[in-house]
Amino acid sequence: MSGFSPAWLALREPADRAARNRDVIARCALTFAARSSLKVCDLGAGTGAALRAFADLLPGEQQWTLVDRDPENLAGALTALEAWADKALRHDAGLTLHHGLRRIEVRTEVLDLARDPACWPMDSDLVTASALFDLTSAAWIKRLVAALAAGRRPLLATLTADEKIAASPPHPLDKKVAAAFRQHQSRDKGFGPSAGADAGRFLEQTLEAAGYALTAGESPWVLEPSELLQATVEGMAAAAAEIGVAGDELAAWLEHQRENTKQLIVGHRDVFARIL
Among 4, 64, 181, 253, which residue sits at the site for ligand SAM (rule: CB under 6 A)?
4
Q: Taking the CB of residue 239, how many other CB atoms lie within 10 A of it?
A: 19
- Torsion angles phi and psi, residue 197, rounded to 5: -70, -15
Phi (first) and psi of residue 160, to 5 degrees: -85, 115
165 belongs to the binding site for ligand SAM (CB under 6 A):
no
Q: Which of 57, 164, 186, 190 binds ligand SAM (CB under 6 A)?
A: 190
How many Å apart are CA 257 and CA 264, to the nearest integer?
9
156: β partners? 128, 272
Are the beta carbons of 130 and 50 closer than 8 angstroms?
A: yes
Which residue's C-beta sits nearest to ligand SAM?
Answer: 46
The Cα angle at residue 48 between residues 219 and 54, in degrees rounded to 5: 55
**Closest to ligand SAM by CB, 75 or 214:** 75
Contact assessment for residue 261 and residue 198, using Cβ atoms and an 8 Å cutoff: no
Q: Out of 38, 113, 127, 239, which residue is the one contacting ligand SAM (CB under 6 A)?
A: 113
Among 19, 24, 40, 45, binds ligand SAM (CB under 6 A): 45
Least Å from the CB of residue 228 to ligand SAM = 13
- Subset of residues 6 to 35 that bind ligand SAM, contact rule: CB under 6 A: 9, 16
**Nearest by Cα to 258 from 234, 240, 222, 242:** 234
The only residue of 19, 40, 49, 264 in contact with ligand SAM, by rule CB under 6 A = 49
Positions in 127-156 near ligand SAM (CB under 6 A) = 130-132, 135
| Selected binder of ligand SAM within 25, 41, 50, 237 (CB under 6 A) | 50
Q: Using CB under 6 A, which of 61, 70, 109, 218 touches ligand SAM?
A: 70
CA atoms of 55 and 105, how far apart (whole Å): 11
Cα torsion through 6, 11, 13, 18, rounded to 10: -170
At closest approach, how far in Å is the CB of 32 from ligand SAM?
A: 20
For 147, the 3-state DSSP assignment is: helix
Decide: 78 and 106 in contact? Cβ < 8 Å. Answer: yes
Q: What is the DSSP letter of 163?
A: E
The residue from 57, 114, 118, 179 that contacts ligand SAM (CB under 6 A) is 114
Q: Rounded to an integer, what distance in angstroms lies between the CA atom of residue 274 and that of residue 127?
A: 11
Out of 73, 185, 215, 257, the only residue in the binding site for ligand SAM (CB under 6 A) is 73
Q: Please state whether the peptide bond connecting residue 169 to the residue before it is cis, i.e. omega within 30 degrees of 0.
A: yes
200 counts as binding ligand SAM under rule CB under 6 A: no
Instruction: Choose which of 44, 76, 154, 200 interacts with ligand SAM (CB under 6 A).
Output: 44
Q: With contacts defined by CB under 6 A, how many residues of the chain interact with ligand SAM?
A: 20
Q: Report if residue 69 touches ligand SAM, rule: CB under 6 A.
A: yes
The contact pattern for ligand SAM, residues 204-243, with x = CB under 6 A and - = no contact, is: ----------------------------------------
Contacts with ligand SAM by CB under 6 A lie at 4, 9, 16, 44-46, 49-50, 68-70, 73, 112-114, 130-132, 135, 190
